[in-house]
């Protein structure tokens, strides 16, 4: 669903593909549409679910239904047809759409139960619930609408990075570069109580030279960046939006020839 | 998949923006911090087996203006040879397309961090004189720093001073044509990077560059074309004020000595450039005069104040003369008739 075949591509810092899930999701080709929506759902379902749970203060079962409802509408081209990239970023637009779905459902006298023929996405809500216990305290401090946008962006980046890391792990395993990923995991992902371990310490543990630690980490970081940027480009509607999101997510500003 | 904490996300963002060093002689060691126009990393130059600071442009704006500025900073630094100015070792383009330059790795503390350390007034004034030295050299080559502030000044463990962040430095128009900065090195930098440089790089009239609180009024108004060395002198005056107030809470006008020092700061930071010192040498000359107990240009003394200062400066000699005269008088009075 995410990051297929992007690792170890060209030498450029930014992906060359210009395929956009937003455009493909409006395609008449069912396979193309399905691929695009899978990608959008994988990147957005957790932030959307957490947002409904915490910002709208919905219980878990109701938030699950609303999340399913939201993505069903997305699949049915309810939302993406109206999206204008010149007016907003996709993630901002989708969050506003979520607000609309939840508000409309709340206005109705009781939620409409979706019929038996309604699409049901297989989403791991229990994992999202576990994550919620960690992000809930941060959301309680949110006061302004701008802060809510920032919180949603952070959750979206968390979702994007989580999928990127998973993709990197799979690719490293496939290419026999497990040590590369393990070093990346220890050095960049783990929250060690005493802070980051030194390269020398890691080199001793893995029986390699300290310069190898540097090189392996550089490889893993480079591939992680490539994966994230490739997927980011896919879930952005326009080149301009991709540039802005790349800047937000990784602090990078793509060049014209990237 | 494990949970990614907020800290992990920040580390990934940093790792994701890390420059690509594969195929270069540099090896990444750590991220030092964000500077004026880019991020600074500590890297090892494997050719010479030494650690250097690498400044990498993070933002390639569509106009290329920031890129031009980073390259210009490298060019400016390359020409300003002084122990108080960080030497540039290398400039070029990384495999990921980002512009970098490598410079001496400076170990020390920023002026704003050490200003509260206990040091006597003369010691702080002598430190300030060291800050002025590289600026005077730059001015003599027709270069204005334009962003002088405590955060851009590093003080080494032996008291050596380095002025950092020449990213918005300006080459004065009068010296632009003849300045080696705009001739010799531009060709080298362009050859290394493959990017032709605008000569001289332009900051449009009306553009405000600098730091509030340390920026001269004319600079804050965006009067780029009118800027000269007196804009830097204003910033140096503000730094002197900061340096003296950080520990003692400011220079009061309680006595003659502090009135003279306050007058020096007031002259350096006068709103009108014409009321300031004409050169850094004039400014440091007044500081030296103050330290030596001599009259300063910034403060016209009254006869009484001049007398008091002369007495204060020649206290030992005066006491010796008076003691001698007293001894003579006593000798005359007590001599047996």
Instruction: Check whether residue B190 and residue B209 sit in a common domain.
Output: no
Interface test with chain B among A157, A220, A225, A226, by most B beta carbons within 10 Å:
A225
Spatial separation of the C-alpha atoms in residues B305 and B164, rounded to whole Å: 40
Max CA pair span of chain B:
112
- Is A250 near chain B, with CB under 8 Å? yes
Q: Is residue B257 within 8 Å of residue B152, measured between CB atoms?
A: no
Instruction: Check whether residue B80 and residue B128 sit in a common domain.
Output: no
pLDDT (tens, 9 = 90+) of chain A, 258 residues, equals: 443 322 233 343 444 446 678 888 877 888 888 888 888 888 899 999 988 988 888 888 899 999 988 888 888 766 787 888 888 888 888 888 898 888 887 665 455 555 545 567 778 888 888 887 776 666 566 556 567 778 888 889 999 999 999 999 999 999 999 999 999 999 999 887 777 888 889 999 999 998 889 889 888 998 998 899 888 888 888 888 888 888 888 876 654 444
CA-CA-CA-CA torsion sign (B193, B197, B200, B202): negative
Question: What are the tens digits of pLDDT across the range A85-116?
Answer: 888 888 888 888 898 888 887 665 455 555 54
The alpha-carbon gap from A208 to the nearest alpha carbon of chain B, in Å, equals 17
Spatial separation of the C-alpha atoms in residues B241 and A22, rounded to whole Å: 57
* Partner residue facing A255 (CB), from B7, B95, B97: B97
> What is the b/e burial string over B263-276, where b = at least 16 CB atoms within 10 angstroms of the residue's CB?
bbbbbbbbeebeeb
CATH number for position B120: 1.10.510.10
Q: In terms of residue numbers, what domain contains B322?
A: 304-334
Closest CA to B27 of B18, B35, B36: B18
> What is the b/e burial string over A235-255, where b = at least 16 CB atoms within 10 angstroms of the residue's CB?
bbbeeebbbebbebbbebbbb
The alpha-carbon gap from A240 to the nearest alpha carbon of chain B, in Å, equals 11
Instruction: Check whether residue B158 and residue B278 sit in a common domain.
Output: yes
Give this complex's ipTM: 0.78
Question: What are the tens digits of pLDDT across the range B228-242?
Answer: 899 999 999 999 999
The angle, 0 to 180 degrees and rounded to 10, between the axes of the packed helices A145-174 and A125-140 is 140
Question: What Rg do the C-alpha atoms of chain B give, in angstroms?
Answer: 25
Cα–Cα distances in angstroms (integers) from residue A229 to residues A234, A250, B89, B288, in the given order? 9, 9, 32, 58
Instruction: Check whether residue B89 and residue B178 sit in a common domain.
Output: yes
* Partner residue facing A221 (CB), from B1, B15, B95: B15
Q: Is residue B168 part of a domain?
A: no
* Partner residue facing A250 (CB), from B3, B17, B60: B17
The alpha-carbon gap from A221 to the nearest alpha carbon of chain B, in Å, equals 6
In chain B, whose CA is at the least distance from the CA of A132? B3
Max CA pair span of chain A:
67
Spatial separation of the C-alpha atoms in residues B70 and B196, rounded to whole Å: 13
Select, from the ranges A131-145, B136-150, B205-219, B244-258, the one with the highest average predicted confidence (pLDDT).
Answer: B136-150
CA B89 to chain centre: 20
The residue whose two tokens read 């990147």 is: A43
Q: Which residues in chain B are closer than 8 Å to A221, comparing Cβ atoms?
A: 15-16, 18
End-to-end CA distance of chain B: 112
Is B59 within 8 Å of A253 when comparing Cβ atoms?
yes
Question: What are the tens digits of pLDDT across the range B25-62?
Answer: 998 888 888 765 678 899 999 899 999 999 887 655 45
Q: Is residue B76 within 8 Å of residue B169, measured between CB atoms?
A: yes
User: Which residue among the candidates B90, B117, B147, B292 is catalytic per the annotation?
Assistant: B147
CATH number for position B59: 3.30.200.20
CA B47 to chain centre: 31
pLDDT at position B43 is 93
In chain B, whose CA is at the least distance from the CA of A249? B13
* Burial class (CB within 10 angstroms; exposed 0-12, middle 13-18, buried 19+) of A15: buried
Instruction: Check whether residue B51 and residue B184 sit in a common domain.
Output: yes
- Average the pLDDT over each of B9-23, B159-173, B214-228 and give the range with the smallest value: B159-173
The DSSP result for B59-128, as a single string, is ---TT-HHHHHHHHHHHHHHH---TTBPPEEEEEE-TTS-EEEEEE---SEEHHHHTTS---HHHHHHHH
Those residues with Cβ within 8 angstroms of residue A128's Cβ, 6 or more apart along the chain or in another chain: A46, A49, A50
Cα–Cα distances in angstroms (integers) from residue A252 to residues A230, B62, B70, B236, B300, in the given order? 13, 13, 16, 35, 56
Average the pLDDT over B118-132 and give the result. Answer: 89
Q: Is residue B251 part of a domain?
A: yes
Spatial separation of the C-alpha atoms in residues B172 and B169, rounded to whole Å: 9
The residue whose two tokens read 């810092």 is: A13
Q: Is residue B73 part of a domain?
A: yes
Instruction: Check whether residue B83 and residue B37 sit in a common domain.
Output: yes
- Is A188 near chain B, with CB under 8 Å? yes
Instruction: Check whether residue B22 and residue B56 sit in a common domain.
Output: yes
Spatial separation of the C-alpha atoms in residues A235 and A41, rounded to whole Å: 10
* Partner residue facing A253 (CB), from B7, B28, B61: B61
Spatial separation of the C-alpha atoms in residues A216 and A24, rounded to whole Å: 36
Q: Is residue B238 part of a domain?
A: yes
* Burial class (CB within 10 angstroms; exposed 0-12, middle 13-18, buried 19+) of B223: middle
pLDDT at position A145 is 59
Q: Is residue B217 part of a domain?
A: yes
Is A251 within 8 Å of B8 when comparing Cβ atoms?
no
Q: Which residues in chain A are closer than 8 Å to B5, comparing Cβ atoms?
A: 134, 191
Number of structural domains in chain B = 3
Instruction: Check whether residue B232 and residue B127 sit in a common domain.
Output: yes
Is A225 within 8 Å of B16 when comparing Cβ atoms?
yes
* Partner residue facing B15 (CB), from A11, A190, A224: A224
Spatial separation of the C-alpha atoms in residues A35 and A173, rounded to whole Å: 24
Instruction: Check whether residue B9 and residue B74 sit in a common domain.
Output: yes
Is A13 within 8 Å of B15 when comparing Cβ atoms?
no
Token pair belonging to B256? 């003659």
Token pair belonging to B134? 């590289």
Is B4 within 8 Å of A162 when comparing Cβ atoms?
yes
Those residues with Cβ within 8 angstroms of residue B42's Cβ, 6 or more apart along the chain or in another chain: B29, B30, B31, B32, B51, B52, B53, B54, B105
Question: What are the tens digits of pLDDT across the range B152-178?
Answer: 899 988 888 999 887 677 776 544 444
Instruction: Check whether residue B92 and residue B209 sit in a common domain.
Output: no
Phi and psi angles of residue B123, each rounded to the nearest 5 degrees, phi first:
-65, -40
Instruction: Check whether residue B83 and residue B192 sit in a common domain.
Output: yes
Question: What are the tens digits of pLDDT across the range B180-205?
Answer: 444 433 433 343 333 443 433 445 55
The 8 Å CB, 24+ separation contacts for B328-336 are none
B147 is catalytic: yes
Select, from the ranges A106-110, A122-126, B128-132, B244-248, the one with the highest average predicted confidence (pLDDT).
Answer: B128-132
Spatial separation of the C-alpha atoms in residues B62 and B78, rounded to whole Å: 26
Q: Which residues in chain B are closer than 8 Å to A222, comparing Cβ atoms?
A: 20, 22
Is B18 within 8 Å of A11 when comparing Cβ atoms?
no
pTM of the model: 0.63
Token pair belonging to B66? 């920031």
Q: Is residue B94 part of a domain?
A: yes
DSSP B45: E
Is A11 within 8 Å of B95 when comparing Cβ atoms?
yes
The alpha-carbon gap from A176 to the nearest alpha carbon of chain B, in Å, equals 19
Closest CA to A258 of A18, A24, A8: A18
Spatial separation of the C-alpha atoms in residues B254 and B246, rounded to whole Å: 18
Average the pLDDT over B219-230 and give the result. Answer: 85
Q: Is residue B38 part of a domain?
A: yes
Instruction: Check whether residue B316 and residue B191 sit in a common domain.
Output: no
Q: Which residues of B touch A (CB under 8 A)?
A: 1-9, 11-13, 15-18, 20-22, 27-28, 58-62, 95-98
Q: Is residue B225 part of a domain?
A: yes
Spatial separation of the C-alpha atoms in residues B181 and B335, rounded to whole Å: 78
- Is A56 near chain B, with CB under 8 Å? no
The DSSP result for B225-272, as a single string, is GG--HHHHHHHHHHHHHHHHHHHHSS---SSHHHHHHHHHHHHHT-SS
């Amino acid at each position: 669903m995410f990051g297929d075949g992007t690792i170890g591509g060209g030498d450029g810092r930014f992906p060359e593909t210009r395929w956009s899930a937003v455009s493909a999701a409006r395609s008449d080709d069912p396979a193309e549409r399905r691929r695009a929506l899978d990608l959008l759902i994988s990147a957005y379902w957790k932030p959307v679910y957490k947002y409904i749970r915490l910002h709208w203060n919905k219980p878990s079962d109701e938030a699950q239904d609303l999340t399913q409802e939201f993505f069903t509408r997305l699949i049915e081209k309810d939302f993406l047809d109206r999206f204008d990239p010149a007016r907003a970023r996709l993630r901002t637009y989708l969050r506003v759409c979520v607000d609309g779905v939840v508000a409309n459902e709340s206005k109705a006298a009781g939620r409409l139960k979706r019929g038996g023929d309604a699409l049901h996405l297989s989403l791991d809500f229990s994992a999202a619930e576990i994550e919620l216990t960690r992000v809930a305290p941060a959301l309680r401090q949110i006061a302004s609408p701008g802060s809510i946008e920032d919180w949603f962006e952070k959750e979206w980046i968390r979702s994007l990075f989580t999928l990127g890391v998973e993709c990197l792990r799979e690719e490293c395993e496939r290419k026999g570069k497990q040590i590369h990923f393990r070093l990346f995991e220890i050095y960049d992902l783990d929250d060690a109580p005493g802070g980051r371990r030194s390269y020398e310490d890691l080199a001793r543990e893995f029986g390699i030279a300290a310069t190898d630690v540097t090189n392996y980490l550089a490889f893993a970081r480079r591939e992680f960046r490539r994966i994230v940027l490739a997927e980011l480009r896919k879930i952005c509607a326009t080149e301009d939006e991709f540039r802005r999101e790349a800047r937000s997510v990784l602090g990078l500003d793509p060049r014209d020839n990237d | 998949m494990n949970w990614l904490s907020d800290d992990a996300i920040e580390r990934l963002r940093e790792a994701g923006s890390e420059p690509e060093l594969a195929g270069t002689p540099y090896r990444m060691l750590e991220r030092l911090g964000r500077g004026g126009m880019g991020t600074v990393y500590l890297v090892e130059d494997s050719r010479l087996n030494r650690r250097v600071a690498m400044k990498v442009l993070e933002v390639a704006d569509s106009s290329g203006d920031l890129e031009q500025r980073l390259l210009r900073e490298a060019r400016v630094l390359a020409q300003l040879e002084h122990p108080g100015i960080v030497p540039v070792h290398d400039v070029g383009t990384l495999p990921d397309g980002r512009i970098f330059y490598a410079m001496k790795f400076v170990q020390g503390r920023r002026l704003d961090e050490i200003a509260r350390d206990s040091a006597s007034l003369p010691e702080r004034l002598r430190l300030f004189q060291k800050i002025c030295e590289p600026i005077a050299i730059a001015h003599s080559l027709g270069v204005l720093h334009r962003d002088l502030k405590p955060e851009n000044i590093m003080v080494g463990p032996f008291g050596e001073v380095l002025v950092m962040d020449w990213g918005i430095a300006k080459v004065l128009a009068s010296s632009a044509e003849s300045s080696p900065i705009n001739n010799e090195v531009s060709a080298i930098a362009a050859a290394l990077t493959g990017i032709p440089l605008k000569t001289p790089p332009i900051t449009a009239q009306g553009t405000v560059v600098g730091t509030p609180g340390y920026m001269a009024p004319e600079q804050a108004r965006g009067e780029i074309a009118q800027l000269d060395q007196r804009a830097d002198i204003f910033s140096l005056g503000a730094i002197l004020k900061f340096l003296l107030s950080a520990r003692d809470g400011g220079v009061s006008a309680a006595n003659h000595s502090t009135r003279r020092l306050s007058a020096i700061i007031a002259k350096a930071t006068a709103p009108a450039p014409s009321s300031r010192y004409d050169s850094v040498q004039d400014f440091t000359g007044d500081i030296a005069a103050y330290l030596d107990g001599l009259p300063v240009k910034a403060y016209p003394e009254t006869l009484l104040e001049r007398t008091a200062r002369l007495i204060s400066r020649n206290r030992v000699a005066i006491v010796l003369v008076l003691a001698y005269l007293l001894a003579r008088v006593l000798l005359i009075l007590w001599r047996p008739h």
